Amino acid sequence: MNDLQRLKEMGISVWEVRRADVFPNQPQQTITLPVGCKLLLICDNQPEEQDAWLFGKILSSMKLTPEDALRLPADALLAITDHNLEWCWFAGCDGDAPHGTKKLTSPSLSLLQHDQNAKKALWHQIKTL
């Protein structure tokens, strides 16, 4: 069994090589998002349990589910190919949203957890876009 088959069996459909510089002769990696992905959360750290709860609540307010969203680090944005995204949310970082998406910005989820003004600002962005 090869590595790709193992990843597929584990339900992992998106991954990245952490040290791409070790493989200088490899072609540029591209990321094809799942067809159902409507929101891309861009943050450099994997959300912790409390952060994931808040993220789920925000998704719910947008009439989205966790299955409609995917998290990627900021440096992976350039590798995205075709997509069906509606939203690109930068949490604790900034960048250019993929073409045709609505861009949201906020502090990281862990900071957003305790900052009512930042939550209000995020909600205002969601409602006005």
pLDDT digits (tens, 9 = 90+) for 98-108: 999 999 999 99
For the whole model, what pTM was predicted? 0.78
How far, CA to CA in Å, does 67 sit from each of 2, 59, 101, 116?
27, 10, 18, 26
Residue 69 has a pLDDT of 96
pLDDT digits (tens, 9 = 90+) for 15-32: 666 666 666 666 667 888
CA distance 87 to 62: 10
Encode the chain (129 residues) as per-residue pLDDT tens digits.
576 677 677 777 666 666 666 666 666 678 889 999 999 999 988 888 889 899 999 999 999 999 999 999 998 888 898 899 999 999 999 999 999 999 999 999 999 999 999 999 999 999 998
Which residue blocks in the chain are alpha helix, DSSP H? 3-9, 49-61, 109-112, 116-128
* Residue-range domains of the chain with CATH: 35-128 (3.40.50.10220)
Residue 23 has a pLDDT of 66
CA distance 30 to 106: 26
